[in-house]
Amino acid sequence: ANYSFASLHRIMNFALSEVEIAKKADILLLGLWGWSALEILRSDFWIQNKIVTVDIDPVIIDVAKKEFKLEQYSDVEIICQDAYDFVAQTDNTFGLVIIDLWLDNKVPEKFFNEIFWDSVVKILSKKWQLIFNMLIETTDKEKLDRVLQFISNSGLAFQTYDKVDKTNRLVIAKK
């Protein structure tokens, strides 16, 4: 699995350099394993927007809080909940959604289904951007193609980047 902080940092830095983040737009980070996104947003890009992070694993949240001192960042809300349920239930909207969800080295199946993506589209603000991070070797092309078709059918523009840091595939969608 690709759990190297350095590799995750490089991948997330690349992804964030490809988007423009509106100053007042809230940011949603689905999956806290890539907590480097918080560090990059705050320290490298000087983004002070509110960030909502959602992770199902209380152990990952605890490790992130202790090892990476997440409380040092202002306006960060950490929610222990399944990301699938969170996007279906929240009434909030977000200007940037980062989907960085892993079970071992795979994005779980449910995050490729149309119900999830329909929920994601509903929580996007009027001007928004989305980053979807996955490993090349463990991503089923057919499942990804269905997601890309859904994004396209929703009238959204997207770009796919393969072999980011030699291991990952990124989908960046914008409105």
- pLDDT digit string, tens, across residues 49-102: 999 999 999 998 888 888 777 777 889 999 999 999 999 999 999 999 999 888
Residue ranges of E strands in 18-167: 27-30, 51-55, 76-80, 94-99, 124-135, 157-164
C-alpha 125/C-alpha 36 separation (Å) is 24
- Whether the predicted pLDDT of 33 surpasses 70: no
Helix/strand/coil for 163: strand
Task: Please give the mean pLDDT across all residues of the chain.
Answer: 87
- Whether the predicted pLDDT of 104 surpasses 80: no
Give me 13's structure tokens.
Answer: 């830095």
Give me 170's structure tokens.
Answer: 């990124």
pLDDT for res 55: 93
C-alpha 117/C-alpha 113 separation (Å) is 7
Per-residue pLDDT band for 122 (boundaries 50, 70, 90) equals: very high
Q: Which residue has tokens 């951007």?
A: 129
Torsion sign (Cα): 42, 45, 51, 53: negative
Better pLDDT: 155 or 148: 148
Report field, pTM of the whole predicted structure over 0.95: no
Please give the backbone phi and psi of residue 159, each rounded to the nearest 5 degrees, phi first.
-135, 135
C-alpha 138/C-alpha 106 separation (Å) is 6
Q: State percent of the chain over pLDDT 70.
A: 95
- Contact between 134 and 151 under an 8 Å Cβ cutoff? The reply is no
Helical spans, DSSP H, in the chain: 5-17, 36-39, 58-67, 83-89, 114-122, 141-153
C-alpha 62/C-alpha 68 separation (Å) is 10
**Measured torsion, CA atoms of residues 105, 109, 115, 120, in degrees rounded to the nearest 10:** 0
